[in-house]
Structure 1
Amino acid sequence: MFRGQSFIKGALILTAAGLFVRVIGAVLRIFLAAIMGDEGIGLYQMAYPVYTTLLAISTAGIPIAISKLVAENLAHKDYRGAHRVFIMSLVILTFLGALFSLLLYYGAGFFVRNIVKDPRAYYPLISISPAILLVTVLSAFRGYFQGFQEMMPTAISQIIEQLGRVVVVIVLVFLLLPRGLEFAAAGAAFGAVAGAFLGLLLLLYLFFKNRGEYKKRLKRQLVQRDFSSREVLYRIIALSIPITLGSLVIPLVNMVDLSVVPLRLHEAGYSTEEATALYGQLTGMASSVIQFPLILTIALAMSLVPAISEAQALKNNFLVKARTDLAMRFTLFFSIPASFGLFVLAEPTTLVLFENAPAAYPLALMAFGLIFLSLYTATSGILQGLGYVLEPVKYMILGTVLKIVLSWILTADPRLHIGGAALATVISFLIASLLNIRKVSEVTGWRFNFKELLLKPLTAALFMSWGVHVSYRVALGFFITAFSLRLAQASALFLAIMLGLIIFIMVLFLVGGVREEDLRAIPRLGYPLLKLARRFKLLGR
Structure 2
Amino acid sequence: MFRGALILSISSLIAKILSAVYRIPFQNMVGNTGFYVYQQIYPIYGIGMTFALNGFPTFISKLVAEQPDETSKSLITRQAFHILSGLSLIIFLCLQVGASWIAVHMGDANLAPIISAVAWMFVFMPWLATGRGYYQGRFLMGPTASSQLIEQTVRVGVILLAAYFSIHRGWDDYHMGTWAMSSAAIAAVCSSLVFVNFGLKQLLAPAPAPTHPLPSYRKLTKRFIIEGGTLCLVAAVVILLQLIDSFSVMRGLVRQGMPVEVAKSIKGVYDRGQTLVQLGLVIATSFSATLLPALTNALAHRQLIEFKRHTRAMVHISLALSMAATVGLVALMPQVNRLLYGSMEGTGALRIYVFSILVAALITTYTSVLQSLDQYTAMIIGIIAGLATKILINYVMVVHYGINGASFATVVSLAVMFAVMWIGSPEDLQQILLESGYLIKLLAVSGAMGLIVLLTSHEIQALVGPTMANDRGMAGIITLVGVVIGVAVFVAGAVAARLFTIREWLVLPYGKRLIKLVAQRKERHP
- State the alpha-carbon separation in 2 of the partners of residues 48 and 363 from structure 1: 19
Change (3 A) 1:247 1:270: same
Cα deviation digits, residues 414-453 of structure 1 (max 9, x gap): xx21101110111111121122223333486864335454
Match of 2:153 among 141, 159, 163: 163
Partner SS, residue 345 of structure 1: helix
When residues 264 and 78 of structure 1 are mapped into structure 2, their CA distance, relative to the original with a 3 A threshold, is: same
Matching residue of 1:191: 183
1:320 and 2:310 matched: no
Cα separation, partners in 2 of 1:521 and 1:425, compared to 1, 3 Å: same
- Deviation track 1:288-317 (CA, whole Å, cap 9, x = no partner) reads 211111114565797777765554444443
Alpha carbons of 1:429 and 1:136: their partners in 2 closer, same or farther (altered >3 Å)?
Answer: farther
C-alpha distance in 1, partners of 2:196/2:152? 17
Aligned pairs for 1:335-484 within 5 A? 335-413=322-400, 416-442=401-427, 447-451=432-436, 453-475=438-460, 477=463
Query: In 1, distance between residues paired with 2:430 and 2:394?
Result: 36
Matched residue type, 1:499? I
- In structure 2, the CA distance between the partners of 1:490 and 1:198, relative to structure 1 (3 Å rule), is farther
Contact 2:59 2:227 in 1 (8 A): yes
1:516 aligns with 2:502: yes
Query: 1 CA distance for matches of 2:288 and 2:100?
Result: 36
The two structures have a TM-score, normalised by structure 1, of: 0.80
Go from structure 1 to structure 2 and tell me whether the alpha carbon gap of 1:451 and 1:120 turns closer, same or farther (over 3 Å shift): farther
Q: Aligned match of 2:39 in 45, 49, 64?
A: 45
Q: Which residue of 1 is the match for residue 121 of structure 2?
A: 131
Which residue among 246, 249, 260 is the counterpart of 1:258? 246
Per-residue Cα deviation, 1:4-52 (whole angstroms, up to 9, x for no partner): 3677x97566435533442334333333xxxx32222212222223444
- Tell me the amino acid that sits aligned with residue 188 of structure 1: A
Instruction: Give the 3 Å change call, closer, same or farther, for CA 140–526 of structure 1 in structure 2.
Output: farther
Match of 1:29 in 2: 27
Rounded to whole Å, the distance in 1 between the matches of 2:439 and 2:121 is: 41
Long gaps (5+) in structure 1? 212-225
Q: Give me the whole-angstrom Cα distance separating, in 1, the residues matched to 2:238 and 2:274.
A: 13
Partner residue of 2:87?
Answer: 96
Q: Counterparts of 1:304 and 1:277 in 2: how far apart (Å)?
A: 42
Note closer, same or farther for the CA distance 1:67–1:27 as it changes in structure 2 (3 Å cut). farther
- The structure-2 alpha-carbon separation of the partners of 1:403 and 1:484, relative to structure 1 and needing over 3 Å to count, comes to closer
Contact 1:300 1:378 in 2 (8 A): no
| CA gap 1:267/1:129 in 2 versus in 1, 3 angstroms | closer
Farther off after superposition, 308-317 or 268-277: 308-317
User: What is the deviation of 1:159?
Assistant: 3.9
Question: AA paired with 2:17?
Answer: L
Q: Are 1:109 and 2:108 counterparts? A: no
Aligned length: 507
Cα distance in 1 between the residues matched to 2:66 and 2:443: 41
Query: How far off is 1:87 after superposition?
Result: 5.8
1:503 aligns with 2:494: no
Matched, 1:493 2:487: no
Name the aligned partner's letter for residue 231 of structure 2.
Answer: I
1:275 to 243, 247, 263: 263
Deviations 1:164-204 (A, max 9, x none): 22321232334356242210111111222333333343566
Pairwise CA distance, 1:365: 0.5
Go from structure 1 to structure 2 and tell me whether the alpha carbon gap of 1:301 and 1:434 turns closer, same or farther (over 3 Å shift).
Answer: farther
1:489 is aligned with what amino acid? A
Distance of 1:191 and 1:204 partners within structure 2: 20
1:87 & 1:329 partners in 2: Cα distance?
42
Amino acid aligned to 1:183: H
Q: Which moved more, 1:323-332 or 1:146-155?
A: 146-155
Distance 1:172 1:370, change over 3 A: closer
Q: How far apart in 1 are the matches of 2:86 and 2:133?
A: 17
Q: Equivalents in 2 of 1:80, 1:452: separation in Å? A: 54
- Aligned-partner residue type, residue 427 of structure 1: V
Whole-angstrom distance in 2 between the partners of 1:445 and 1:508: 22
Write the deviation string for residues 476-516 of structure 1: whole angstroms up to 9, x where unpaired: 65699999922221232123212212221121111111211
Partner residue of 2:230 out of 209, 221, 242: 242
Structure 2's unaligned 5+ residue stretches are: 203-210
Does the 8 Å contact 2:276/2:354 carry over to 1?
no
C-alpha distance 107-463 of structure 1, shift in aligned 2 (>3 A): same
CA 1:94–1:536 in 2, change beyond 3 Å: closer, same or farther?
farther
**Which residue does 1:15 correspond to in 2?**
13
Tell me, yes or no, if the aligned pair for 1:307 and 1:385 is still in contact at 8 Å.
Answer: no
- Once the two structures are superposed, what CA deviation does each residue of 1:365-423 show, in whole Å capped at 9, x if it has no partner? 1122321111112111221222223421211221222223332332222xx21101110
State the Cα deviation string for residues 338-376 of structure 1 (Å, max 9, x = none).
010111111111111111311222110112232111111
**Equivalent residue letter for 2:108:** D
Deviation larger for 101-110 or 272-281? 101-110
One-letter amino acid of the structure 2 residue matched with residue 64 of structure 1:
T
Shift of the 37–203 alpha-carbon distance from structure 1 to 2, 3 Å rule, reads same
Q: Aligned partner of 1:332: which letter? A: L
* 1:336 Cα deviation from its structure 2 partner: 0.3
